[in-house]
Amino acid sequence: MATTEVSTVILPRAPQGEFRNEPFTDFSRHENAHAMRDALRRVGDMLGHEYELIIGGERLRTEGKIISRNPARPEQVVGVHQKAGAEHADKAIHAALQAFDSWQYTSAEERASLLLNAAHIIRERKHEFSAWMVYEVGKNWAEADADTGETIDFLEFYAREALRLSRATTPIQLPGERDELLYIPLGVGAVIPPWNFPFAIMAGMTAAAIVTGNTVVLKPSSDSPTIAARFVEALEEAGMPGGVVNFCPGSGATFGNAIVAHPKTRFIAFTGSKEVGLDINERAAKAQPGQIWIKRTILEMGGKDSIIVSADADLDQAVSGVVASAFGFSGQKCSACSRAIVEEPIYDIFVERLREAVSKLTVGDPVENPNMGPVVNEGALKTMRQYIETGKTEGRLVAGGNLIQTPEKGYFLEPTVFADVPPDARISQEEIFGPVLAVLKAHDFDHALSIANNTEFGLTGAVYSHDRTSLGKARQQFRVGNLYFNRKCTGAMVGAHPFGGFNMSGTDSKAGGPDYLLLFTQAKSVAERLA
């Protein structure tokens, strides 16, 4: 797999002080912009290399291939990957089982040190990792930098959390006993991440699993296997033993289903669509011959997220927050604002201000750092265009709605806004996962809140208002896992905003929070009578 020689980091690392979020890079500074351009040039010279499967530390090649392409320039190959099939599932699971025999007994300090070593490696080559995402999934510089920063945060945060968990105690000690509460690993897990946060979510789920003593089979998205390969390379450089993470790109319908259904799979960590998440949940619930446990599913699925704009809101803040939430990374976030619910007294002026702000967004090749890059692939673009045609029958087209033609035939779409959309319209209810925003009119705050709660999802939401009564009502009644006041509904920060949603948005796993590692462990109570 590796295109550069890797070496093991010799010295183990310990956490340095309290956790602090990795700072964002200010690309308005000349030296930072120069460093990013240099990284893009260096990574550009590495595009097109071939990567192997890694099973039990062994590199393997397959006849079938997965070709990762630059969505801004589809003829440009980012990486060539082996395609794991159903026949590789048993081999990968048993390699992980073999590694689990020893990895489960390594100390929490050693496992945490692996994550901290990897965080150090990634921080030292931060722009290089970001550049891979610019090419592979079309993130602009700021979006890619935030993704890399969140990866570092997950590694640093989960390392500290694992150490905290290893020191857990029972609430009381009975007289004459030594009472312990141990959080032990589950076993072998399937980690199935998405393409839209191809570094942070992929690395976060993997890191949480292995730092608690589990081993995993990692099946990255077929749209973003290269950044996952680079992460596994960093783990190896940091000192990870073979078999702890088994790198297996492959089809969800064949390899993915096989590892989910395998009787030796103990848990599945998944982030992606509602449809796939529900299918995984159903497959995992069916006990297989030889299976001796109930499989655990850790699922983060879709969203249809709303921002409520009250009549008393600061319009500048509200417009800015809606635009950033709706069109950051071309709306390809489960947390993206896809519905702006605006109170009637300011509705018309809000729509006009929104139209003006959207008209100023730039769209283009993310190497050049516009506001928006391409959408991820041709299939996604086709789906978004179908929703836009539907939207023309359900609302009033205010901005966008057109393809952007480029000589490289990239997958570019204008940021699109529909106004006067009914709450039960398809574009009000169904996850589009692209730069398409519906604006809905509410009579008052109570009406706005009822509209915000009228979908099957419950991931993120925001309220722009300075009325404490309204904010208090939203705090109690807005049914989402992540709620924000007077700020955008995207950009959850590790530690500050544990992330996960309600209803069809998943199991509310709260990634980046103090409870997350518990999902990858089982509690064991040990009581010893003292002489």
Catalytic residues: 300, 334
Structure token digits, residue 294: 């109930």
The stretches of 266-365 forming alpha helices (DSSP H) are 274-285, 315-327, 347-359
Structure token digits, residue 304: 């249809």
Q: With the CA atoms of 404, 408, 409 and 415 taken in that order, what torsion angle do they form, in degrees rounded to the nearest 10?
A: -30
How far CA 395 is from CA of 349, 388, 391, in Å, comes to 17, 10, 6
Within a 10 A sphere around the Cβ of 269, how many other Cβ atoms? 28
Cβ atoms of 384 and 436 closer than 8 Å? yes
Sign of the torsion formed by the C-alpha atoms of 414, 415, 420 and 426? positive
Cβ atoms of 457 and 482 closer than 8 Å? no
Cβ atoms of 199 and 151 closer than 8 Å? yes
Cα 281 from Cα 270, distance rounded (Å)? 10
Cβ atoms of 428 and 339 closer than 8 Å? yes
In three-state secondary structure terms, 407 is coil
Cα 479 from Cα 117, distance rounded (Å)? 39
The stretches of 75-175 forming alpha helices (DSSP H) are 86-103, 108-124, 126-137, 141-166
Cα 482 from Cα 277, distance rounded (Å)? 20
How far CA 249 is from CA of 52, 130, 212, 489, in Å, comes to 9, 21, 24, 31
The stretches of 239-377 forming alpha helices (DSSP H) are 257-261, 274-285, 315-327, 347-359
Amino acid at 132: W
**How does DSSP classify residue 241?**
P
Cα 432 from Cα 502, distance rounded (Å)? 19
- Please report where in the chains the tokens 């700020």 appear, as a residue: 487
* Residue 392: CA count within 13 A, CB half-sphere: 9
Start-to-end Cα distance in the chain: 57
Which residues, other chains included, contact 268 with Cβ-Cβ below 8 Å and sequence gap of 6+? 189, 190, 192, 260, 280, 284, 295, 296, 297, 298, 299
Structure token digits, residue 67: 């070709």
Cβ atoms of 341 and 306 closer than 8 Å? yes
